[in-house]
Structure 1
């Protein structure tokens, strides 16, 4: 009798627990549905989304509902990725926790998204090779998603990630942009994301054609984007549409129409807290006001740009510092097999380089003299000897940079120590190979003596740009000097501990200050400059 009673109580208890779990699962699934709605950012905002995602996670964990845990971790990853403060470390933490759970329950959609988010974090931190590895992984997993709509949405996002890996290759950008558009068009008409996806893809393709100066084609895509965008309450994509339309109108000298688009874009960018878009809009808005001879507003928007740019630079440096502190080398190295082999290969190359340097050094000591060839010019500026000195540099990167100056720049911009005759009318700096090597070394070491060293070795150039283009900011002048040495944007960013976006902004201001045409290579232009 007692045994029957115990069994009966156990059955009752199991049924009660099962009923409670079923109720909790339904509640959790309802919250997940709300958080995946197309207008969720518009309706709830980021903070409320974080709160609800946290509730979903802990309720799911309490009853060991793994699907709920995975879906909440995907939501967390997306929110942290798109956070304006760049909370990349938290994003990677959620990805690391979510991937094994998603694999365990066979949730291919969540696995693909989590790999995509990890790739996006690494891409934004400058690790393009690793980012591509995770985009490839996400694309491979997405093929297993049974639901065609879910599969299409995942692939749309992954193609967007791929498109960013080649920012100056318009062929590659158009290829991935059209893949995005095709995936969006294939979504069923009942899919609530379809219109927004088509609008965003059209906007992206339109912006590429605008950069290619094919304005009629660009405008067609942008107008289609605007039509589909009307069906979506979240109007963030309209910022991009209005910005691109404004730029096209500005290029066509239809300045009043351009201004109307820019002001609408500014209004929406402020509403949705999109500071990087505001940074992109303020300068063309200022330029348009200048063309309309409204100098008060021209100065106002230029000041807005400077204030926001300084603020973003400070926040950007802080964000990158925090992320690099948290995302240590061990974590990044463990992120892919590719990285491991890259390090092993690099180590092997370094060993070979050391052996080669020792061999060359030993060989050089046995020689009685080193043959030098010189590049010189007569008083009329005609080339008298078509050779360049043989330079023994241990650092391959220094050698390639010096070589780059001769390939891409004005050969007359650099003269060697054996040349003592030079036209005073030309006013060209005389710089030896050794002095160049020392200057590059100071630059790569981010040595405080670099600025002074550059002024000593390029006195005519330094004095010329400071005299002819006054009101330099010290950081802009430093970037200008580094560009004169033919360093790339990425190299300058590494040397100055800045972001690539920050260096691009400084290059833009240098172009404006010195009236350098946008189609000109800035390093070549500086090397061709004479005073």
Structure 2
């Protein structure tokens, strides 16, 4: 008993130990990628791929999700939005992302990539899908994710002039959700700061400097509580624009420089172009020729680089959309084909059944007609038999009366009732009228006594007449004379 309990306990512990072992091994590989990311991005990317490969081999779904999201963020950070889009779309079809928040996170990455490449309508569709998934999530953990989706939707609308009026509506929805987070949640200041900077940036682009300044001021209250640089680049950039507008050129340069330092540390490419341009303008105003020349060269360099990158990304994205469209057409065609096949099958089955039922109906109808015909024939025969029986009964009564009366018309009436019998008797030409009468009486089953009574003869004479008839007709001795005449 003790050994059994020990064995059962061991079986229960082994999966837990194996799961912890998988997690520890993945964390080791993934942390290596993060450490390398601070030194050399290509090596970090390779290490992350190894970590994801290990997670897939061991079916460690949390590791697959974490590694995939890191790879997508890596592509976005390096300005490779098309690769981020392709990687996210490919990963989205895998099992770990079909449930929970994994699908929402990947759809956000797809949408962010699409927004940066200018595919706003496709981004809107993707974000609507992400919103549908996010609304199905339960618990307080879904609040920041749902708020992030609303914020991304606001960003997408802000980039399009025709829908810019919707941007602030969705930004406010995101802000309200972030403010609902518990004060003890360390991510609350981070997300709140991020969306406040987004709103400030929106108002700056809409040329509402007072509102932009108000939201930047509110965002500054959260800047000291941040755990990472999410939103800091945009914050410093907007502060720099604000200071430059107010004529505080040195202060503007400091803000732009802080934003540039963050971008360089995180090795972002896309934000550098705007920062180099603003630093070029600031240095131009400060009459710092060398710095002005340097930032101008960097701006031109990154402008050309980004232009080529965007062209390449747009080409990749278009191929991706074309491929997805073809896949959708194939899937839809397959569905239509299956529906058509099902309809044809239903029609064939229905037609076959209808044909069989019709055939059965025809057979039953023919049987019914045949039965009705037989019934009519039988009824007709029955009526004839009834008529004949009634006639025979009436005629028999008449014959018996004529016999009793000794009426000569007896044979005439007998001939009417039994014409065939009478005609066969005529074959025996030697028969006299009395012999014919005796044959008729025997046919009518009259006994010897009755025949003696009705013919005014003795019983002996009747017996003698019967004997003579037996001889004349060659009736066997063992054959009853009455039966013979019935069969005659």
TM-score above 0.5, yes or no: yes
Mapping 1:357-372, distance limit 5 Å: none
Mapping 1:202-351, distance limit 5 Å: 202-235=196-229, 237-325=231-319, 327=320, 329-334=322-327
Give the drift of 1:309: 1.4
Selected match of 1:24 from 21, 25, 34? 21
| Aligned residue number for residue 88 of structure 1 | 82
**Following the alignment from structure 2 to structure 1, what is the Cα–Cα distance between the partners of residues 41 and 294?**
31
Larger Rg: 2
**Following the alignment from structure 1 to structure 2, what is the Cα–Cα distance between the partners of residues 228 and 16?**
45
Q: Measured at CA, do residues 20 and 95 of structure 1 come closer, stay the same or move farther in structure 2, by a change above 3 Å?
A: farther
Q: Deviations over 1:466-502 (max 9, x none)?
A: xxxxxxxxxxxxxxxxxxxxxxxxxxxxxxxxxxxxx
| Partner SS state of residue 136, structure 2 | coil
Contact 2:284–2:292 under 8 Å retained in 1:
yes
**Following the alignment from structure 2 to structure 1, what is the Cα–Cα distance between the partners of residues 264 and 322?**
37
**Following the alignment from structure 1 to structure 2, what is the Cα–Cα distance between the partners of residues 109 and 248?**
37
**Following the alignment from structure 1 to structure 2, what is the Cα–Cα distance between the partners of residues 89 and 275?**
15
Mapping 1:169-180, distance limit 5 Å: 169-180=163-174
Q: Does 1:191 align with 2:188?
A: no
Contact 2:134–2:145 under 8 Å retained in 1:
no
Contact 1:245–1:261 under 8 Å retained in 2:
yes
| Aligned residue number for residue 164 of structure 1 | 156
Q: Measured at CA, do residues 145 and 299 of structure 1 come closer, stay the same or move farther in structure 2, by a change above 3 Å?
A: same
Q: Measured at CA, do residues 47 and 220 of structure 1 come closer, stay the same or move farther in structure 2, by a change above 3 Å?
A: farther
| Aligned residue number for residue 393 of structure 1 | none
| Partner SS state of residue 108, structure 1 | coil
Q: Deviations over 1:413-437 (max 9, x none)?
A: xxxxxxxxxxxxxxxxxxxxxxxxx
Give the drift of 1:55: 5.0
| Partner SS state of residue 165, structure 1 | helix
**Following the alignment from structure 1 to structure 2, what is the Cα–Cα distance between the partners of residues 281 and 69?**
35
Give the drift of 1:203: 0.9
Q: Measured at CA, do residues 89 and 253 of structure 1 come closer, stay the same or move farther in structure 2, by a change above 3 Å?
A: closer
| Aligned residue number for residue 456 of structure 1 | none
| Aligned residue number for residue 150 of structure 1 | 142
Query: Where in structure 1 are there 5+ consecutive unaligned residues?
Result: 341-531
Q: Does 1:115 align with 2:107?
A: yes
Give the drift of 1:32: 11
**Following the alignment from structure 1 to structure 2, what is the Cα–Cα distance between the partners of residues 47 and 19?**
34
Q: Measured at CA, do residues 151 and 298 of structure 1 come closer, stay the same or move farther in structure 2, by a change above 3 Å?
A: same
**Following the alignment from structure 1 to structure 2, what is the Cα–Cα distance between the partners of residues 200 and 45?**
28
Higher-helix-fraction structure: 2
Contact 2:200–2:211 under 8 Å retained in 1:
yes
With normalisation by structure 2, the TM-score equals 0.56
Contact 1:112–1:142 under 8 Å retained in 2:
yes
| Aligned residue number for residue 58 of structure 1 | 53
Give the drift of 1:312: 2.4
| Aligned residue number for residue 135 of structure 1 | 127
Q: Deviations over 1:171-227 (max 9, x none)?
A: 322222222222221222232322211111111111222233332332232133233
Contact 1:163–1:172 under 8 Å retained in 2:
no
Query: Where in structure 2 are there 5+ consecutive unaligned residues?
Result: 334-488
Q: Deviations over 1:129-163 (max 9, x none)?
A: 23212211110111121122333324313531442
Number of aligned residues:
327
Q: Deviations over 1:279-325 (max 9, x none)?
A: 11223333233333444443332233122212322333344445545
Q: Measured at CA, do residues 151 and 72 of structure 1 come closer, stay the same or move farther in structure 2, by a change above 3 Å?
A: farther
Q: Deviations over 1:44-95 (max 9, x none)?
A: 9866764665455334433434454344434444443x24141534643444
Contact 2:88–2:109 under 8 Å retained in 1:
no
With normalisation by structure 1, the TM-score equals 0.52
| Partner SS state of residue 221, structure 2 | helix
**Following the alignment from structure 1 to structure 2, what is the Cα–Cα distance between the partners of residues 23 and 141?**
29
| Aligned residue number for residue 406 of structure 2 | none
